[in-house]
Structure 1
Amino acid sequence: MAEEGRQPSMTWLFFSPSGRIGRLPFFLSWLFWFLVGSVFLMQMLKNENEDTALAFWTLALVASGILSTVSIAMLAIKRLHDIGYPGPLALCLFIPVLSPIVFIALCLWPSVKGENEFGSPNDGPGTRSQ
């Protein structure tokens, strides 16, 4: 467990379900994963006639896809905590018809003011209330 008052880390931001994050960090983190996938896809298209390079970039795209899926689920859980809802609702992001609606809602829904059952606003690791 992290120490009280410690600054949030990138590992906490991308891969931990605890705490809360606001709208901007949620959107920027999602945008980061979108750009990573886009770079790998661009490299695949650029190297479509070279078997070795295509295999490498395809593997990189698949790996980033797995990492980004896990990360976006953790980000959605923290964002749901920030608006006062339980984390399991993040599963709605995996329902094809609902996912764009849920994503837009998570980007636009304002944070709960003050502390809630998931901690204080913009909590990092170790600052979650018990």
Structure 2
Amino acid sequence: MQAAISRVLSNYATFSGRAPRAEFWWWWLAVLILLTITSIIDGLIFGTGPESGQPISMLVSLGLIIPNIAVAARRMHDVGKSGWWLLLAFIPIIGALVLLYFYVQPSQEGDNAYGAPNPLT
């Protein structure tokens, strides 16, 4: 898990290359845990309810937008698709399901148009 997170953070805004399944999913688990923790902290500091807002969670989310998109684009490259396929996210429900299908696919073996496989070590 630590190797996946450090690899994503070291490639903060790198949209080229490939990201194996493990790197992608460990990263999303770490993001989910981090956002859950910041949401709890927001609730303790600012209270709950629609008027309280969640400033810490919002700042963390803003800081993670670029690496989230970058790792998703590299994951698409790993299955042989262009990062532009991420635009499917703007199609309600169907787009998310298609992207989920691509995310769970195994990596293409050997080199592809986006480079050599990048095993998670």
In 1, Cα distance between the equivalents of 2:9 and 2:82? 22
Contact 1:19 1:78 in 2 (8 A): yes
Aligned-pair CA distance for 1:65 = 1.3
Matches within 5 A, 1:1-130: 10-12=9-11, 14-49=12-47, 58-98=54-94, 100-122=96-118
TM-score scaled by length of structure 1: 0.71
Give structure 2 stretches of 5+ with no counterpart. 1-6
Change (3 A) 1:106 1:63: farther
* Paired residue total: 111
Rg larger for: 1
Q: Which structure carries more relative contact order (alpha carbon 8 Å, separation 6+)? A: 1
Percentage identity across paired residues of the two chains: 23
Give structure 1 stretches of 5+ with no counterpart. 1-7, 124-130
Which portions of structure 1, spanning 4 or more consecutive aligned residues, are displaced by more than 4 angstroms?
A: none
Aligned-pair CA distance for 1:9 = 6.8
Contact 1:76 1:90 in 2 (8 A): yes
Aligned Cα root-mean-square deviation (Å): 2.6
TM-score scaled by length of structure 2: 0.76
